[in-house]
Structure 1
Amino acid sequence: MNKPLVSYVVTTYNIEKYIEESIRCAFEQTYSPLEIILSDDCSTDCTFEIMERMAKEYSGPHKIVLNRNEENLGITKHMNRAYLELTTGEIIVAAHGDDLSRSDRTEKSVEYLENHPEVTAVSFSIDAISEKGEILREHSAIVDKIHTYTFEGGGNIPAPSRAFYKRVLTTFGPLNDDCPTEDELISFRALMLGENAFLPEHMVQYRKHSGSSSNPENFAKFPLEKILKQQDDDMKKGIELGLITEEDREEKYAILEKMTEIRKRYRVYFAKRKVIDLIKLVCYHDVSLKMKLHYIREHMEYIRRK
């Protein structure tokens, strides 16, 4: 049986300190046939020069596609270009230029997707690491058994270790230009087409550093209302395609709207970790008892580490 062509996509912007190690992980992938997309969003440091040099020096079995955007597109427009325009594979493996992947990550991703046809996107446990490569357990995303998610139940599997069918994007088209992130939107779209799986194997090390987009000071760059708008647009498309019903959309939108309000309060708390903001978060009427306990335990762990 012919194995599917896979596109391993490394996206970068101003990460010259880490890019060489990340590209080396891409070159060392054991799966074949594989095309490696190295796409830079018009970096102002030496990131692209390093990518260009490594692409020229590469002599392995994988096809290399090198791209540098003529202007800085921002996260979502760059992802639209990298994932929709530059790839030709049936499956996309997402990799950020400051993260590290095990050499068998692509192979394990394809194996799971092919053995579970109901699954449209898969992620693995990720270990967060510092700039020096130290494990940051509190920022890691780890499971001890396989978790699967459906559209009805929801769930966003980790982006740094995610692989998904390209049709997850082509079915719905490019993300909105003003959508601030591709992260949870890919999971959301994948759930309208099938199940998402989160596996316990540790496949990726996710780098936390001063330039990380997940840092609290960057929250303003990711307005939650625009994420919700993209989700609603995608659900409307899902209705047109017969993937979900209008009733499904109304029920899901109500849930997403509540979660957006909770996330706003969590962002306020997380930015400064003040007890008063924690109290406002856990006292919000839509926060479940399970989540209240989670936030309180998280705060106690933060105090302990501090």
Structure 2
Amino acid sequence: MEKPLISIVTPIFNTELYLEDCLNSVLSQTYQNWEMILIDDCSTDSSVSIVERFSKKDSRFKLLRNSENKGSGITRNSGIDFAKGKYLCFLDSDDRWKPYKLETQVNFMLGNDYSFSFGSYEFIDEKNNLIKRPKIVTEEPIDYEFLLKKTEIFTSTVMLDLDKIGKFMMPPHRRKQDYGLWLKILKSGVKAYGIKEPIAEYRLRKGSATSNKLSLITKHVLFLKETQKFSLVKSVYYTGYWAINGFIKYYT
């Protein structure tokens, strides 16, 4: 019996320095029935030519191109819409997967009848050096309330069973679209389950959108008000939990 198809969605914007590593980590997977949907958001570097080189050698790499810069959320939505697989994964173009990532996660999902899973991960720098301690995720099932207080789910480790939950789209925000998607799915009653073993490598880059959590506190409050329709007081309440847990996650 053929293994289920996995669709991998990757937005691209000027990540030529890391993109080959990202694509090679998918090629190295022990689970081989996948399609990788790469959506270029008007890169001005050589990112597109790198993808074209890979896609000429392997048709599982599929390139889509935005006509204008739309941001990673809307760009990912194009990939979600295009996806043909039973399972949906996300991999940011500067991150990498462990070779056993897909196989481990599919077995975890099938063996436990889960529809939403994610995993632990390691941190690497711009030169691929391991830094900090790995982030080992909780074994506690994650629901909507949990995720409001702690961003436990790292995008490049997520796997969704589209046959079970259908296709959810990310909110049209320039930041935190992935977090908004997880909240939307969990609010529908689905729970997310973590894999203790690190299955991905998260690249921390100077100047990246997530490199300075303290500067994003006000934006997080506004994000909760806009997407979750919370009052200011309730948004500040959950942002307080988020900020403390974020500090522990990134700076210890």
TM-score (normalised: structure 2): 0.82
Q: Distance in 1 between matches of 2:194 and 2:5?
A: 22
Any unmatched runs of 5+ in structure 1?
Answer: 233-249, 267-280, 282-290
For the structure 1 residues 26 and 15, does the alpha-carbon distance in structure 2 shift closer, same or farther, using more than 3 Å as the test? same
Q: Distance in 2 between matches of 1:221 and 1:260?
A: 7
- Alpha-carbon RMSD: 3.4
Structure 1 runs (4+) greater than 6 angstroms displaced = none
Residues 1:134 and 2:113 aligned together = no
Structure 1 partner of 2:94: 98
Any unmatched runs of 5+ in structure 2?
Answer: none
For the structure 1 residues 40 and 169, does the alpha-carbon distance in structure 2 shift closer, same or farther, using more than 3 Å as the test? farther
Among 195, 199, 207, the alignment partner of 2:203 is 207
Shift of 1:63: 2.5
Shift of 1:77: 0.9
* Residues 218-260 of structure 1 deviation map (CA, whole Å, 9 limit, x = unaligned): 955992223442234xxxxxxxxxxxxxxxxx9xx98655113
Shift of 1:152: 4.8
Residue 169 of structure 1 contacts residue 189 of structure 1 at CA under 8 Å; is this kept in 2?
A: no
Q: Distance in 1 between matches of 2:200 and 2:207?
A: 19
Q: Distance in 1 between matches of 2:165 and 2:191?
A: 15
Q: Distance in 2 between matches of 1:15 and 1:169?
A: 31
Residues 1:64 and 2:58 aligned together = no
Point out the structure with max Rg over C-alpha.
Answer: 1
Among 87, 103, 110, the alignment partner of 1:114 is 110
Residue 141 of structure 2 contacts residue 194 of structure 2 at CA under 8 Å; is this kept in 1?
A: yes
Mapping 1:154-303, distance limit 5 Å: 154=147, 156=151, 157-166=153-162, 170=166, 172=168, 174-178=169-173, 180-191=175-186, 192-216=188-212, 219=215, 223-224=219-220, 225-232=222-229, 258-260=237-239, 263=242, 266=243
Residue 10 of structure 1 contacts residue 96 of structure 1 at CA under 8 Å; is this kept in 2?
A: yes
Q: Distance in 1 between matches of 2:32 and 2:57?
A: 20
How many residues matched?
247
Structure 2 partner of 1:29: 29
Q: Distance in 2 between matches of 1:132 and 1:165?
A: 34
Letter in 2 for 1:66: L
Residues 1:74 and 2:68 aligned together = no
Q: Distance in 2 between matches of 1:109 and 1:228?
A: 33
Residue 9 of structure 1 contacts residue 92 of structure 1 at CA under 8 Å; is this kept in 2?
A: yes
For the structure 1 residues 109 and 254, does the alpha-carbon distance in structure 2 shift closer, same or farther, using more than 3 Å as the test? farther
Letter in 2 for 1:68: R
Q: Distance in 2 between matches of 1:98 and 1:188?
A: 24
Structure 1 partner of 2:82: 86
Residues 1:150 and 2:143 aligned together = yes
Structure 2 partner of 1:272: none
TM-score (normalised: structure 1): 0.69
Q: What is the aligned-residue identity percentage?
A: 23
SS of 2:156's partner is: helix
* Residues 100-132 of structure 1 deviation map (CA, whole Å, 9 limit, x = unaligned): 101221111111111222x33211111111111
